[in-house]
Amino acid sequence: METLSNLWLGLETALTFWNLAYCMVGVLLGTAIGVLPGLGPTATIAMLLPVTFGLPPVSALIMLAGIYYGAQYGGSTTAILVNLPGESSSVVTALDGYQMARQGKAGKALATAAIGSFFAGTVATVLLAVFAPPLADLALQFGPAEYFSLMVLGLVASVVLAHGSLLHAFGMIILGLMLGLIGTDVNSGTTRYTFGFPEIADGINFVVVAMGVFGLGEIIGNLANETTRTVMAKTVKGLMPTREDLKQMAAPVLRGTVLGSMLGILPGGGAMLASFAAYTLEKKVSRHPERFGKGAIEGVAGPESANNAGAQTSFIPMLTLGIPSNPVMALMIGAMIMQGIQPGPSVMTEQPVLFWGLIVSMWIGNLFLLVLNLPLIGLWVRMISVPYHFLYPAILVFCAIGVFSLNNATFDVYLMAMFGFLGYIFRKLDCEPAPMLLGFILGPMMEEHLRRAMLISKGDATVFMSRPISATMLVLALILLASVLAPTVRRKREEAFQEEA
């Protein structure tokens, strides 16, 4: 019953006129930017973050969440219509979705994606409402040692589950942690690594890092191999699915939702891993696996549901533990901190309006996605058709003005340019920048918890192993790491990420 009264509180918050409006604007803006090819959700959110800073915290987070699912759905639209997935989680959607579009069934593919996402989003929101409170209660008993171990586990898991080289993922995490140290040390007041610039005495703003590495870095990468692209369907028809289609997609949507919800909670590439796993599963259970890759509706329904369910449940560790499970959640945490909210288990008890309002608005956002995006598809198609060489200078303009407006400082603009340079170099060397962002956000928290834990234990490092919850998490992290390093699993992991990619 408590869940119901909480949801009622959330409903009251989310249904105020302004919050509804911000949710809708967020979904629309997110989709509009998300459909632009070559812009994933991380870059989209980083770009739109400054827009939300003037809002009250609840509205800002509601709008950001809206931007997130909008961006994801926009990415799927692009994947289906132009075979240019803007982010790794819609790579899978492009496989069968684009083939459907080539066969003139773009409308059906888009509708499948929208309906699957909506169903998955609904289920995942319920899961979030049910499982978040007990988890937050548990987390309230955590001391600094538990938090430190939890962060270690989170970072290790995000490395193991993400794609690419393990070694580089660790390297980038450490680099991120170090970037997080820049600024004044809260305990001693020593300024560290500021090179005498007062502008970064409070640390580098995470928006600067995210926009530089993901925004500018991606633009340079895209320009390095500029391709011309053709939009598959100039006009999209047949959006309304037939009874037959609905029957065909029901089972894949259900399977995708279950799989996605579970994988989304895990740190790491949540949504991305979910869509890959769902595609593989659909292909395995299908009686006609040969149809996959040639326009199978299940190949769109399963992964799209999984990816949206995963996106939704990845909010669970973020809201209850204050631990980001992917770069988007890292940005959400950064946004919360900028709004003066310390992320963690106390958010639920101290800010119930924000917590439950956000959860309910997630469902409303998914509803907006369904009812707004299908009718607006003509507009999205026109946005996709804008050539990239017109788009990217405009993207740069918004990044530059956005970063300037954070502190009204040109210094941040220069810093963003520098991170853009680094972002391209890292990409060129196959060092994924996503773990760096996670490390950057977690760095200060991790140091603080480490210090406190060691202070309480009077310098005895065994405290991390003598406290049961902390020890369990460290052992889990070790098992994860050992299992990935084991040769057989290692090969399987590489296969899983390479399949169809």
Q: Tell me which residues touch another protein (CB under 8 A).
A: 54, 167-168, 170-171, 174-175, 177-178, 181, 185, 187-188, 190, 192-193, 216, 219-220, 223-224, 226, 387-390, 392-394, 396-397, 399-401, 404-405, 408, 410-411, 413-414, 416-418, 420-421, 424-425, 428-431, 447, 450-451, 454-455, 457-461
Distance of closest approach, residue 441 Cβ to another protein, in angstroms: 15
Distance of closest approach, residue 167 Cβ to another protein, in angstroms: 6
Of residues 240 and 455, the one with the C-beta less far from another protein: 455
Of residues 150 and 400, the one with the C-beta less far from another protein: 400
8 A C-beta contact, residue 471 and residue 464:
yes
Distance of closest approach, residue 211 Cβ to another protein, in angstroms: 10
Distance of closest approach, residue 390 Cβ to another protein, in angstroms: 6
Of residues 294 and 451, the one with the C-beta less far from another protein: 451
3-state secondary structure 401-449: HHHHHHHCCHHHHHHHHHHHHHHHHHHHCCCCCHHHHHHHHHHHHHHHH
Of residues 168 and 294, the one with the C-beta less far from another protein: 168
Of residues 94 and 211, the one with the C-beta less far from another protein: 211
Of residues 418 and 465, the one with the C-beta less far from another protein: 418
Rounded-to-integer distance, Cα 84 and Cα 90, Å: 9
Residues 6+ apart with CB under 8 A from 3: 129, 130, 133
Of residues 168 and 493, the one with the C-beta less far from another protein: 168
One-letter amino acid for residue 144 of the chain:
P
Distance of closest approach, residue 228 Cβ to another protein, in angstroms: 9
Neighbour tally for 430: CB within 10 Å:
9
Rounded-to-integer distance, Cα 157 and Cα 147, Å: 15
Query: In the numeric block, which tokens belong to residue 171?
Result: 């390297």
Distance of closest approach, residue 457 Cβ to another protein, in angstroms: 7
Tell me the backbone φ, ψ of residue 314, rounded to 5 degrees.
-70, -10
Query: In the numeric block, which tokens belong to residue 311?
Result: 């996106």
Rounded-to-integer distance, Cα 186 and Cα 144, Å: 16
Of residues 130 and 397, the one with the C-beta less far from another protein: 397
Rounded-to-integer distance, Cα 153 and Cα 481, Å: 10
Q: How many residues does the chain have?
A: 501
Distance of closest approach, residue 415 Cβ to another protein, in angstroms: 9
Query: In the numeric block, which tokens belong to residue 101?
Result: 């579009």
As a whole number of angstroms, the longest Cα–Cα distance in the chain is 69
Of residues 461 and 479, the one with the C-beta less far from another protein: 461
Distance of closest approach, residue 450 Cβ to another protein, in angstroms: 7
Adjacent-strand bridge partners of 192? 183
Residues 6+ apart with CB under 8 A from 182: 192, 193, 194, 200, 203, 204
Distance of closest approach, residue 110 Cβ to another protein, in angstroms: 28
Using alpha carbons, select from 132, 96, 113, 179 the residue that is nearest to residue 436: 179
